[in-house]
Amino acid sequence: MKPLDWTVTARDGNARTGTLTTRRSVIETPVFMPVGTQGALKGIRFEWLEDEIDARIILGNTYHLFLRPGVETIIEFGGLHKFTSWNRSFLTDSGGFQVFSLTELRKLTEEGVEFRSHLDGSKRFLSPEVSMEVQAALGSEIVMVFDECPPGDAGYDATKASLDLTVRWAARSKARFDQLQAEGMDSGFKDPPADTGGSDLSGKQSLFGIIQGAGHLDLRKESLERTVEIGFDGYAIGGLSVGEEKSVMYEVLDFIAHKMPEDAPRYLMGVGTPEDLIEAVNAGVDMFDCVIPTRNGRTGSAFTSQGKLNIRNAKFATDDRPLDPDCSCSVCRRYSLGYLRHLYQAGEMNASIMISHHNVAFFMETMRRTREAIRAGGFQSFRKEFLDKLKANATGGV
């Protein structure tokens, strides 16, 4: 039995809609996946995500969950779904990105990466095998291979060497993943409790490969070919939005996305702004994740159809309009800019919660409109209108 089902349902240029079905949810693409770093979306309860925002898949971070609460605790609960009570799909990253970006002290070898936990300084180790074992214990529907993430400004030779290592690690990830699936996924850890019902540990995860190569197009192409040769259920573009110029990111996307296999979902990791999402869909990408809706929400920054808005701005003090007149989320239906600004200025946690809520709802709504436009064959006019509105605001239009 296949771990996931993927069907392309409409095309408009390189942009496409599709249906991704896991054992836990049916996901319409292009999709934005909110990030639940520590097993929770910051400020947003799962009830809101399910009932109102209608997220069908969220991310969990292997690095963070590996360090805290730790794999043993999650196995004790019978997997990440039972632990968190999120019953729809999870995609877990491999932990690689965090190891390379969060930890100062690390030792990279062919075998894996030794690093010190950012929590208590303890010595830890991640490798393709360990990452697969941790993600098996988490029980996510989509597992990512363990890759090396070179910095955005890495030179050609360093990028090539990193890419070679990532390909070797992808093959090792796949080998260990296949073993774990055959063994019922919990091998390498103690037996799961008998009452899990087996649903979290039933051996039906899928594995995505990751294409690296920084801004070097020939290396991107080589990475794609060698990753496809190993063979995965889906393919991701990694190593973008890591400090390179935006034009480089768009150039890589336009070059590589439509070359990725038609018959598998394409996932752009860790990107990005609403504008980035629309441009990546235009290049042929199906899936996204990013922390910015909640990160910006916490600092009072809202994404709207008219561009970005800072709730601290004094001009909103007596403004009785919603955050975004075009948004139908529960925050915009009920609360005014002036009230939200007051809450933010007063240090009330509701300000961060409500702006984060709106931001996630806005990203989801943007993807819903994108899917509609593609299905109707009007993606290019939708894209132009969407980007023009943002531009008008950036130049002082609103």
Give catalytic residue positions: 93, 289
C-alpha pair distances (Å), 42 with each of 32, 35, 253: 16, 9, 29
Q: How far is the CB of 357 from Zn ion (least distance, A)?
A: 8
| Residue (67 or 354) nearer to Zn ion, CB | 354
Quick one: which segment of 24-32, 44-52, 267-275, 357-365 binds Zn ion (CB under 5 A)? Answer: 357-365
| Residue (38 or 330) nearer to Zn ion, CB | 330
| Residue (207 or 327) nearer to Zn ion, CB | 327
Q: How far is the CB of 297 from Zn ion (least distance, A)?
A: 11
Between strands 287-290 and 301-304, the pairing is unpaired
Among positions 276-335, residues that touch Zn ion (CB under 5 A) are 327, 329, 331-332
User: Interface with Zn ion includes 357 (CB under 5 A)?
Assistant: no
- Report DSSP state, residue 296: H
Q: How far is the CB of 290 from Zn ion (least distance, A)?
A: 18
HSE-CB for 143 with a 13 A CA cutoff = 32
349-375 and 379-394 helices cross at what angle (nearest 10)?
A: 140
User: Interface with Zn ion includes 353 (CB under 5 A)?
Assistant: no
Say how far apart CA 396 and CA 312 lie, in whole Å. 17
Say how far apart CA 69 and CA 367 lie, in whole Å. 33
**Helix or strand (DSSP H, E) at 28:** strand 26-29
| Residue (224 or 309) nearer to Zn ion, CB | 309
Q: How far is the CB of 258 from Zn ion (least distance, A)?
A: 33
Which residues lie below 8 Å from residue 339, measured CB to CB, with a gap of 6+? none
Nearest to 162 by CA among 238, 225, 235: 238
Q: How far is the CB of 197 from Zn ion (least distance, A)?
A: 38
| Residue (52 or 254) nearer to Zn ion, CB | 52
User: Interface with Zn ion includes 358 (CB under 5 A)?
Assistant: yes
**Contact (Cβ atoms closer than 8 angstroms) between residue 200 and residue 153:** no
Structure tokens at 107: 């030792």
Binding residues vs Zn ion (CB under 5 A): 327, 329, 331-332, 358
